[in-house]
Structure 1
Amino acid sequence: MSKIERISLQNLEGNFEEIEPGLSNRQAIEEANRCLYCYDAPCIKACPTDIDIPTFIKKIASGNLKGSAKTIMTANPIGASCARVCPTEELCEGACVLNHSTTPIMIGNLQRYATDWAIQNQQVLFKAGSKNGKSVAVVGGGPAGLSAARELALIGYTVTVFEAEEKAGGLNTYGIVSFRLPQAISFWEVEQVKSLDVEIRTNTRIGQDIQAQELLETYDAVVLAIGMSDVPQLGIEGEDLPSVFDAIQFVKATKTGELSKEIIGKRVAVIGAGNTAIDAATCSVRLGAENVKILYRRTIEEMTAYEFEYEFAKQDNVEFHWLTAPNRIIADEGGKVTGIECKRMVLSEPGEDGRRRPLPVEGSEFIIAVDAVIRAIGQSRYVQLIEEFGIEHADGVVKIASKSFQTSKEQVYACGDVIFGKGQGEAMVVSAAQQGKMVALEVHRKLGSEISATA
C-alpha cells in the first residue's frame, strides 16, 4: 500500500488486545449446567452450520473438552473464529428457549471456551480420509475455501488451496479487527486444514503465478471461493489524498503491523455503516483518534452492521450521522486533509425492488473538520479473475445452480462472497463456512459417482 508504511506496534498492542475475556473454568461449568439439552433444540436450527449445540455443551459439563471442540469443529471448520464473530444473539442464542424465562445460554462464549482449550493444548482434531484418486483445486483460502478444503480432504480428495495473500484465512486473518478476532485463532484453523494433507500455496495469484486454464487441466474440479476485493472509490473530489483510506486495507494494516506514520490524526470520518465501517471506526479510536464520525447516506433502519457492532461503536463514543453523504474532501495547500463537505439526504418512496433510495437535499451542503477519511462502502469484485475461468457472472456475482453450487462451467463450483448478491448487506462468516461444506458434498456427489464407476 503506497499510503501505509510499516512501523512498530509495540506501543499500540495493548489497545488491540481482545475486549471480551474468555470464561473461567468455573463460569463455563456453571453456564454449561444451565443448558436444558433440548431434544428438538431450536439453537441447532438457528445455526447456519448445524452445530449440535446441546451435545458440545454437555461435553463441557462432563469435562470432555476435546470432544466438545471436535463436535463444534466437525460442523463448522472455522468454529473458533465464529465463536467470537457470529451474531449469536440473532442466531443460536436468539433461539434459546430460556429467552422466555431468564437469559439465554451463552452459547458463543461456551463455544469459545471449548475451542480455546483445543488451541491452547495444540489439539489436532481430524485425520484425512483415504485417498480416492481425485484432486480438487480451491481458489481462495478464506472461510468458504478452508471449509470446502477440509470437507474434501476428510472424504479423501487430494486438495490444493491457492491463496493470494502471504497467509491463509482470508477475512478472519486480515479483515476482522484483532480486538475481536486475533490472528492466532485463524492460524490454528488453517493448521487444522493443513493437518489433513491439504497443500496451501500462499502468495499465489491466478492469472499471474498460475493460469486458470492450468487448474482446469490439472484438477478434476475447481472450487472458486475468492471472496471480494477492495473498497470501491467514492467518486468525489479529493479522495486520492494521502489521508484517505480503504477500510479493508486499513483494518488489515492494524493486523499486520503496517500503519500510517502519522497514524490518522485526531478527527476521522468513516463513510458507510456496515460491519467493516464499524471496525474502521473502532480501530481509529484505538489508534488515538479523539473524534470519530460514521457518515451514512441512509438511516439506521438500512444500516447493515450487526446490532452488537453498533452498540460497541457507541460505547467507544463513535458518532453516527444518518442521511449524510460526502460531497468532496477538502485539503490545505500542502495536501493535508482538513475537512469533508457533506450534503443532507432524504429517502425516496420504495422502488420496484422495495428499496428506498437516498436523494440529495438541494443547498444542504456543510463541512465537517477531519484529519482523515476512511471509505467503507462495500467491496468491489474480482471480475477479471472470474472471467479467467470463463464462467457467467453479473457484475462480479458468480451465477450458480442454486442447489449444486455449480457454475456455468461444469467443472467449476463457487461459494462464499463471490456468489453473494449485491444489495443484500454483508454476508456472514458462518454462512460462508456452511457453503464451503455444501460445495464439498456437491463436488463429491459428482466425482464420487465417477470413482464408483471405475472401482
Structure 2
Amino acid sequence: MQSSVTLDDLPLNFQEVKKDLSPKEAVDEANRCLYCYDAPCTKACPTGINIPAFIKKIASENLKGSARVILDANPLGATCARVCPTEELCEGACVLNDISVPVMIGQLQRHATNWAIHHHQPLFKKGNPNGKKVAIIGSGPAGLSGARELARLGYEVTIFEAKEKAGGLNTYGIVPFRLPQEISLWEVEQVKQLGVEILTNTIFDEDIMVNEVMEDYDAVLLAIGMGKVPMLGIPGEELHGVYDAIQLIEEIKDGDITDRFIGKRAAVIGAGNTAIDAATCLKRMGASNVKIVYRRSESEMTAYASEYEFAKQEGVEFRWLTQPTEIIDDGNGNVGKLKCSRTKLGELDHSGRRSVEIIENSDFSMDVDIVVKAIGQTRHKKLIEELGLEHDQGIVKIDPVTHQTSNKKLFAAGDVVFGKGQGDAMVVSAVEQGKKAARAIHRHIQSSL
C-alpha cells in the first residue's frame, strides 16, 4: 500500500503539534489558577519552579516577570514547557484535578518563555568574576544548566561538545514536531550570553586531552549523556534499511526530510519514548505502515502514557510480546522481512522486571522495508574509564548529595549517572541535576579557599 503523503507535504508534517495559546487564552487560563499556598504543583516540579507566581504574572500580563520566574529555576524552561510529562508532574498534582481539569501549566510556561524568545531582552547577568575555572564535558540539559548556574556565581566556564551544535538531546534527539531545534539553540545562546565559552566539534583524545582538562580547571562537570543504540544481536543487522533510532531522529532534526520513507513498511523495535519518536517520525515521513515491536507487554512499556496515546493517534500499530529474531534479506541486500517469535513473561529477574521467555514453535514473519532499533543507548565507557571513575556498566557512581565522583575534583550529572537507582531520565531532571552539581562545585571550591 502506498502512502498518500507527498514530498511537498513533509515539511508541514514536522511543524509543532501543539499550538501556542493566544494572549487572551493565556490570561483566561491563568485566571483559573487558585494560587495555592505551599502549592503541590511546585512540589511536583523537579526544578522547583514557583508555578503560582509565574501564572499570576501572566494573569497581570507581566510576561517578562513570568519568564524570569520560570527561567531562574529552570534555564531550559522553554524546552521543558514542550517535552515535560506535565500530566505526571505539575499538572498531575494540580488541585483542580479533583473538581475539574488541571490548569494548563505547560502551555502557560510555553506562553511566557515564548515572550522571552521573541523579545530578546536579557533576564540574567553573569556574576562577578571569582578567578576560578570550571570545565563541563557535554552541552546537553545537565551541562547547560550547570554552566548557567556557575556563570551566575562568577566562574569562568568552558563547555566541551563533540557535535557541531550545542544542546545535546534537546538539539538533536527530540523530534521537531515536539521541540523545534531553534528553541534548544535559543537556550544555548542564553547560556553563552553569560560569558560561557562553548567549544563544539571538540572530541576528547583527538582535539583535547583528558589530562589537560583535569590539570587546567579547578573542577570538572561530566555531563556526556549516552551514546548510540546498541546492536540487537540478531542476524541481518547489516542490511540496508536498518537504522539506529537516535541517528534517524538526529538526521530529521537537522533537516534531512526527504521522500526515502514514503510508502515504506517499518518496524520499530523497542517501546520507550525514543521508539515512539522514531515511529511517529516515520509516519510523518510518509511510511504507509509502522509497527512498534516489543518483547514485553503494554503495561511494561517505558514510554510516557501521553506519548503512547499520541502514537496511536498517528496510526502507529503495536505488537506486544513479540521478540525479533532475524532481519531477512529481500535478495538485494535490503530489508525484506522481520522474523519474530511470540513471548511470555516469567518471574521477576535481577532488575526487578519480569523475565521474557520465547514460546516454542511460535515463529512468524512480517513484511517490512525498514527496521529501526530503539532498545536503549550505549554508555561512554571509554571516556569514563580514561577519567578513572568508578562506574557500574557505564553508569558513573556519585555521592547523591555532593554529585562528586570517585575523583573529588570531578562531578557528574544527567544521563551519565542515570540508572541503577540513580537519577531520572527526563530533561527536567537532568536540568535540576546540573543545577545541584554546579552548587556542589561552588561549595567544594569555596571550602578549599
Per the shorter chain, which TM-score range? over 0.9
With over 3 angstroms needed to count, the CA separation of the structure-2 counterparts of 1:251 and 1:264, relative to structure 1, is: farther
Query: Displacement of 1:390 after TM fit?
Result: 1.1
Counterpart of 1:56 in structure 2 is: 54
Partner of 2:287: 289
- Distance change >3 Å, CA 10–CA 73, structure 1 → 2: farther
> Structure 2 CA distance, aligned partners of 1:36 and 1:355?
40
Q: What does residue 208 of structure 2 align with?
A: 210
Task: Rate the CA distance shift 1:374–1:280 in 2: closer, same or farther, 3 A.
Answer: same
DSSP-derived class of the 1:349 partner = strand
1:43 aligned to which of 41, 50, 60:
41
1:79 aligns with 2:63: no
Superposition deviation, residue 207 in structure 1: 1.7
Name the counterpart of 2:95. Answer: 97
Aligned to 2:3: none
Gaps of 5+ in 1: 1-8
Deviation at 1:232, TM superposition (A): 0.2
Correspondence for 2:391: 393
CA distances 1:57-100 after superposition (whole Å, capped 9, x unpaired) = 00111111011001000101100000000000000000000111
Name the amino acid aligned to 2:400.
Answer: S
Q: Is the contact between residue 135 and residue 159 of structure 1 (CA under 8 Å) also seen in structure 2?
A: yes
Which of 410, 413, 426 is the equivalent residue of 1:415? 413
Aligned pairs for 1:323-362 (under 5 A) are 323-362=321-360
Work out whether residues 11 and 257 of structure 2, in 8 Å CA contact, stay in contact via their aligned partners in 1.
no
**Which amino acid in 1 is paired with 2:138?**
G
Alpha-carbon separation, structure 2, partners of 1:53 and 1:448: 32
* CA–CA distance in structure 1, aligned partners of residues 263 and 163 of structure 2: 29
**Which shifted more, 256-265 or 80-89?**
256-265
Contact 1:417/1:432, CA 8 A, preserved across alignment: yes
Residue 200 of structure 1 is matched in structure 2 by 198
Matched letter for residue 436 of structure 1 = G
Q: 1:432 corresponds to which letter in structure 2?
A: A
Encode CA deviations 1:133-188: one digit per residue, 9 max, x unaligned. 10000000000000000000000000000011111010000000000000111011
Deviation at 1:423, TM superposition (A): 8.5
* Number of residue equivalences: 443
Amino acid at match of 2:363: E
Task: Read off the aligned partner of 2:375 and give its amino acid letter.
Answer: I
Amino acid at match of 1:29: V
2:218 counterpart letter in structure 1? D
Shift of 1:123: 2.5
Q: In the alignment, what sits opposite 2:366?
A: 368
Does residue 449 of the first structure (1) align with residue 447 of the second (2)? yes
| Structure 2 Cα separation of the partners of residues 277 and 423 of structure 1 | 23
Q: CA deviation at 1:34?
A: 0.7
> What's the secondary structure of 2:348's corresponding residue?
coil
After TM superposition, the runs of 4+ consecutive aligned structure 1 residues lying more than 4 A away are: 422-426
Q: Secondary structure at the match of 1:146?
A: helix
TM-score (norm 1): 0.95
1:130 to 128, 131, 138: 128
Which deviates more from structure 2 when the two are superposed, residues 253-262 or residues 200-209? 253-262
Partners of 1:207 and 1:48 lie apart in 2 by 35
Alpha-carbon distance, 1:263 to partner? 3.1
Between 1:134-143 and 1:381-390, the stretch displaced more is 381-390
Q: Give the CA deviation at 1:349.
A: 1.4
State how far apart, in whole Å, the 2-side matches of 1:223 and 1:315 are: 41
Kept in 2, the 8 Å contact 1:264–1:371? The answer is: no
Select between 345-354 and 55-64 the one with higher mean Cα deviation.
345-354
**For residue 276 of structure 2, what is the amino acid of its counterpart?**
I
Note if contact 1:243-1:264 (Cα within 8 Å) is conserved in structure 2: no
Corresponding residue of 2:438? 440
State the secondary structure of the residue aligned to 1:277: helix
Tell me if the contact between 2:321 and 2:343 (Cα under 8 Å) persists in the aligned partners: yes
Deviation at 1:353, TM superposition (A): 4.3
1:215-271 superposed Cα distances (whole Å, 9 cap, x missing partner) = 000000000000000000000000111100000000011011236763365200000
TM-score (norm 2): 0.96
Identity %, equivalent residues: 62
- Over 3 Å counting, the alpha-carbon distance change for 1:352 and 1:178 in structure 2 is closer
Distance 2:257 2:94 in 1: 42
Q: Which moved more, 1:166-175 or 1:424-433?
A: 424-433
What stretches of structure 2 of length at least 5 have no aligned partner?
Answer: 1-6
Question: Structure 1 residues 425 and 49, CA, compared in 2 at 3 Å: closer, same or farther?
Answer: closer
> C-alpha displacement at 1:379, in angstroms?
0.1
Aligned to 2:310: 312
Structure 1 counterpart of 2:379: 381
Identify which of 177, 186, 189 aligns with 1:188. Answer: 186
1:404 counterpart (388, 394, 402): 402
What is the correspondence of 1:65-76 to structure 2 with a 5 Å cutoff?
65-76=63-74
Root mean square deviation of aligned Cα: 1.5
* Letter aligned with residue 214 of structure 2: L
d(CA) in 1 for partners of 2:274, 2:422: 15
Alpha-carbon distance in 2 for matches of 1:169, 1:353: 31
User: Given the alignment, which residue of 276, 289, 294 partners 2:274?
Assistant: 276
User: Is the 2:257–2:285 contact (alpha carbons within 8 Å) kept by the matching residues of 1?
Assistant: no
Q: Is the 8 A contact 1:274 1:426 kept in 2?
A: no
Residues in 2 aligned to 1:234 and 1:422: alpha-carbon distance in whole angstroms: 22
